[in-house]
Amino acid sequence: MAIRTLTKPLLYFLLIGLSLLFLMPVYVMLVTSLKPLDQVTLSEMWKLPGTIDVSSYVTAFERLAPNLMNSFYLVIPATLLSALLGSLNGYVLSKWRFKGSDTLFTLILFGMFIPYQSILIPLIQFLREIGLYNTIPGLIFVHVVYGIPITTLMFRNFYASIPDEMIESAKIDGAGFLRIFRHIMIPLSITGFVVVAIWQFTNIWNEFLFAVTITTSDQQPIMVALQNLSGSQIVQWNVQMAGALLAALPTLLVYIFLGKFFVKGLLAGSVKG
Amino acid sequence: MFFRMEVKMYKGASHKIWSILMVSPFVVFFLLFWALPLGLGVWISLHNWNVSSGNLGFVSLENYKSILTPGTLYYDLFMKGLKNTLYFVVISVPPLVLISLGLALVIDNLPKRFKPIYRTIFFISYSISVTAVSAIFLWLFNGNGGYFNNVLESIGIIREPINWLGEQPYAWLTILITTVWWTIGFNMMLFINALDEVDVALYEAADLDGAGAFSKFISVTWPQIRNVAFFIIIMTVIASFNLYGQTKLITGGGPEQSTNSLIMNIQTSVFGMNQLGIGSAMAIIMGLIMMVIIVFQYWLSYRNKE
């Protein structure tokens, strides 16, 4: 007990120090983005701005606005499609089992671990053939493809917790595949949809490798365009940081407001299954 | 009409037909988007395929041979990338798993009011993209007057500024610190949730037995969180294997290509040298190596359970 009373304050102290250290980059980002360019120096990067100046946000927004829209055009359809297809797959794999459905499920799990680089090159080739290379729809396509194994897995585990008797009695009442899906599965898996949607939204929003290999200049989502923001000769760090914060804002807000809910749901859906 | 049709479907053997019918779009989807690209990738890798001049014919295993024959350009490219990536996996997985576990253990023991605050603090960085993370760490680690150099100089640890991005081992250290900062929150969250599930009664029983903190962890906590821990280790290994954004954006593969990751080199062979066939073969070999490592890890965790 004596050791406990001694180590506890020490641990808390350490934790507070660590979290301050951890937040430091975010702090530097924030204060730098609020400074005019002549106040941005490496030696004074941790100082608060003398006056609050939002011009770098205006500049960053003006330059990134088209890419920001690209990101939304990309993320919204890709999230909805991969969630919908994942839920349909999960429904089939948990409630409409057939001979070989377990094998199929194993294949999907396998698919999740196939490094996506080995699929990326043929996918690019395929996108070229069908004329979707360097387009947002092409990128949507890739993200849907890559997202399906994980969304299927998550939905399958959500649906596994819905009792089979419920489905059986609905069948006896004459409801079929789609009616059960629409009137039983979807209403019971709203939480699942929210979790999967958050997961897909943030992953696709932040994704870099696909975006940088499949799109160029005008078609780039914000995360790729961000690296070209800094300017050619003198790096405008204030604009760069403002841009980085703007780009991170949607996912930051999602995690801050829905984070706890999200992680609980994610775990219920994935790890334990 | 549709409804009545469904009722009929359920009678007798047609039930089976119905469920196979319903699952067929999914099978088609899976074949089309996973099996087919993978097959296509293998097919491309067996051809001399140039991005600009197209398919120049079947070469069977020549691409693989030239990647695996010491001395060739592609061998160097692949092996350097593989070596760098494996090095990163080895140095990054232990801190990414152990630090997150440590944090989770401390935060899990906090009073209830403080838990969400700290959880959010350490999770926030995970929601920032690699581009933004790289922009900030590029600046913090700047060799000439960067923040870390300033701090280290002012507290007297170093006299001369360290060339973080242009010298080894500092370049790897920079990538490592950035990666830890960026992704540790996710592992920590998974650990915290696993710890929440541990039955409090088990701890109380251990307290009665007079168990210390360490022996409590070994005998009570660890068996309960082991499955989640294995999941986290596997996911972390995969993530570290896929090293790309950080090295591309922070060190640009330098100094002297020592931080060029395997994905960067595969990209170079496709987009820089136009060798689609070689690039596909490299990607497939990389995939096989990852599969072997993952299967081995699964086998280890399975064996431990027995």
CATH of the domain at B228: 1.10.3720.10
Of B10, B193, B279, the CB nearest to A267: B193
In a domain, B118, yes or no: yes
Asked if A254 reaches chain B (Cβ–Cβ under 8 Å), the answer is yes
Partner-chain residue, chosen from A22, A176, A267, that has the shortest CB–CB distance to B181: A22
Residue B56 lies inside a defined structural domain of this protein: no
Count the domains in chain B: 2
Contacts of A114 in chain B (CB under 8 A): 34, 38, 287, 291
B92 and B34 in a single domain? The answer is no
Lowest mean pLDDT among A39-48, B104-113, B202-211: A39-48
DSSP-derived letter for residue A227 is G
CATH tag for A73-221+251-269 (out of 1.10.3720.10, 3.40.50.20, 3.65.10.10, 3.20.20.370):
1.10.3720.10
Q: Tell me whether A202 touches chain B (CB under 8 Å).
A: yes
To the nearest whole percent, how much of chain B has pLDDT over 90?
Answer: 22
Candidates A118, A154, A272: best to mutate against B (most CBs of B within 10 A) is A118
Helices (H), chain A: 2-33, 55-95, 101-113, 117-129, 136-160, 164-172, 177-180, 186-188, 190-206, 209-214, 222-225, 237-269
ipTM: 0.77
Residues B182 and B254 grouped into a single domain: yes
| Mean pLDDT, rounded, for B109-116 | 82
Contact with chain B for residue A183, Cβ under 8 A = no
Do B213 and B105 have their domain in common?
yes
pLDDT exceeds 50 at position B88: yes
Q: Which of B66-80, B91-105, B193-207 has the lowest mean pLDDT?
A: B193-207
pLDDT-based confidence at residue B10 (cuts at 50, 70, 90): very low
* Residues B73 and B219 grouped into a single domain: yes
User: What is the structure's pLDDT at A1?
Assistant: 43
User: Could you say which residues from 11 to 40 on chain A have a Cβ atom under 8 Å away from some Cβ of chain B?
Assistant: 11-12, 14-15, 18-19, 22-23, 25-26, 28-29
B152 or B240, higher pLDDT: B240
Q: Which class for B286: exposed (0-12), middle (13-18), buried (19 or more C-beta within 10 A)? A: buried
| % of chain B with per-residue pLDDT over 70 | 89
CB of A247 less than 8 A from some CB of B: yes
Q: Are B19 and A248 a contacting pair at CB < 8 A?
A: no
Over residues B244-271, the pLDDT tens digits come to 989 998 888 878 888 999 999 998 888 8
Asked if residue B161 and residue B286 are part of one domain, the reply reads: yes
**Rounded distance between C-alpha atoms, residue A95 and residue A88, angstroms:** 11
A254-263, B27-36, B180-189 — most confident range: B180-189
Q: With contacts defined as CB-CB under 8 Å, which chain A residues touch B194?
A: 267, 271
Gap from A24 CA to chain B (nearest CA, Å): 10
pLDDT at B1 over 80: no
Q: Do B129 and B37 lie in a common domain?
A: no
Q: Where are the domains of chain A?
A: 73-221+251-269
Three-state secondary structure of A22-49? HHHHHHHHHHHHCCCHHHCCHHHCCCCC
A96 touches chain B (CB under 8 A): yes
Q: Do A247 and B132 touch (CB under 8 A)?
A: yes
Query: Is the pLDDT at B26 greater than 50, yes or no?
Result: yes
**Backbone torsions φ then ψ of B47, nearest 5 degrees:** -125, 155
For residue A97, give the DSSP letter.
-
- Give the C-alpha distances (Å, rounded to integers) separating A124 from A214, B47, B280: 7, 16, 11
Greater model confidence, A154 or B171: B171
Give me the domain span that covers residue B22: 2-45
Domain identity same for B143 and B221 = yes
pLDDT of residue A268: 58
**Given phi > 0 = left and psi -120 to 50 = alpha, else beta, which region is B295?**
alpha
Per-residue pLDDT of chain A (273 residues; tens, 9 = 90+): 445 556 777 878 888 888 888 898 888 888 888 988 877 776 676 778 878 888 889 988 988 999 999 999 999 999 999 998 888 888 888 887 777 777 877 777 777 766 677 778 888 888 888 888 999 998 998 888 888 888 888 888 788 878 888 888 888 888 777 788 888 888 888 878 888 888 899 889 988 888 988 888 788 999 888 887 765 566 778 888 899 889 888 888 887 777 666 666 665 554 443
